[in-house]
Structure 1
């Protein structure tokens, strides 16, 4: 048995958080002792495994600010992770550390220690923010340098896709080698009978229901799903009832979530599709699975998404995926077999949606192929064995 500590900045609801929990479950299935440390964990806004005691979670230093004068998010995140790493080194022992997202804490975990650190890189943080002003450039420069330096100090660097591997290799000159560990599904959760009724909307009242499932963030380009549905409404027969459900993570602490939700509602009014659109916020796991199982197709709109677990979840639920033709979906979605990969334009995405309206049996055929693809490429067993091998190698 190996004692493993996983560090993650904010254990809310999202793809990165789902990966961290699946890491813990995978290692626990191999009889390792696993604890997740985080600076924030809200029992009302988290995955069920962190709330019901399945996975041990310890939250520290939430009193530290998330921002200063509405800015300096990156600096605050770095400071919270440094405090977390120092606390662990002083009061907690482990054989292997797994650091997720924020590499700055890697050297602090290695101080006066022979223990090994695995860093999981979803995407270089320095590429996620702009540098439009000189002050922003000045502020980010030391953070960017430290990100590259501390990433390279890890004993093993793991990324979520071949796409991210290429980006990391080009971005960090210090990094010589990294390996791919695709996020996976704990498919046992998907096999349980979620016989629930989505009280927010009666799906049976529509001929076709399309689902957008993302956090309420502007970079997720949810606008594209709304604009594509406006295209469908304009070009489809009035007798065909199509509906769009926009659902995803929503945190009242995050101004962007609140603002963007309002922006999307206003856009649906402007496009004249508000009657055919439903917005859901911070849905439960059971509601998410219900929607994935019962919608016609998933409309996945982020461009250059690092991996994107939602298309994999959708395919495992035998639901086809319409995704933008960049980033992770190029590796997960097989075009014209398990769904469609499209240019990020309302017309192209709208035309893909209309394929399901016009072609009988397409959902069933693509859905079957999608589930088979997930079972072959993204099984939880394969994920577990590879992660276990990394941990044993570091030991």
Structure 2
């Protein structure tokens, strides 16, 4: 059997068995290399070379974690929670709670969408915005699995159809460029339209999550939330609130200017440090808390980069697609389904739809043209094959980001509360709608 398939299945199986995702990725990378014909030294070398690719995002998470902890001690987050909860009132009825739940979900979804285009900060807002809202979510008895689905929907669906910000990078700079490099002759205007049908699968998945799967209330331990996000019992300090607002504005401005989450979070944290607003808490303690909160996420991203490097080095993706070509014969519907399925496997393993396209486009474009798929259908096939697995991969920032915010108090399991819910609600509909797009376009 193909080494890539075995390695991805092994990684998912180990992760589901509660083996640490970093360990699962590392072992699976070793298996991929050895079964792909590489020597042990070559496999370790490729893995080590790839680790640097995840270092930037890991450091970004660490600094964002420190900034998020600083915000929680400033009193701004307490002010937000108090304001909303006081407006609800202690005797809020079920209708009022349901209305507030919908409003909160709508706000988080809008922020996730905006983070891809209007304010292209990607997942940087999640570890800053979400942990302080855990008190409110607990009051509303909101299922965090639903919040994870809402956030992932905004992060993934947006770049699939809107050619702005990260969507412009995905649709034009990566997808269109790689398609044309391999002989498709597509034009820019065709790409968003070809991805609309697959995106409707994401919409269906979100509707199922909201209306069916996670509509029932879910309770969380308030003491654990208070331990991670302490509410200030005394009068809120106006100076601290103003400092927090300035720090947020500066963080956003620096990130937009430098395109770096690292320096944006660093500036925000330094504003807190030099302002004296947090003199009651040591800077070192805050930084350590933030790094500890985000450490596991960062290490997963580093290990995922090493895994991706080994998979690319084996060359087994091309072998996998070639073997599928022999299996398919002249069956066009089967060809579309298997191409999408292989894309799901690859993206689940390496955790990035943006990195999947260069791997599969060189093989998929000639294969799609040989089966007579139209230009829009080929765009939909390759684009959907790459997007498949971004939601639902243990190593994807589209699941790691929500976990980073929702698990601030240790009550949100990455695999069972982020990965599995988003995999079920998005990958299955996306696979179906991507296949439909390939057949009708």
TM-score by length of structure 1 reads 0.28
TM-score by length of structure 2 reads 0.25
Please say which structure displays the higher CA radius of gyration: 2
Q: Write 1 or 2 for the structure with the bigger share of helix.
A: 2
User: Which has the bigger relative contact order, CA under 8 A and spacing at least 6?
Assistant: 2
Q: Write 1 or 2 for the structure with the bigger share of strand.
A: 1
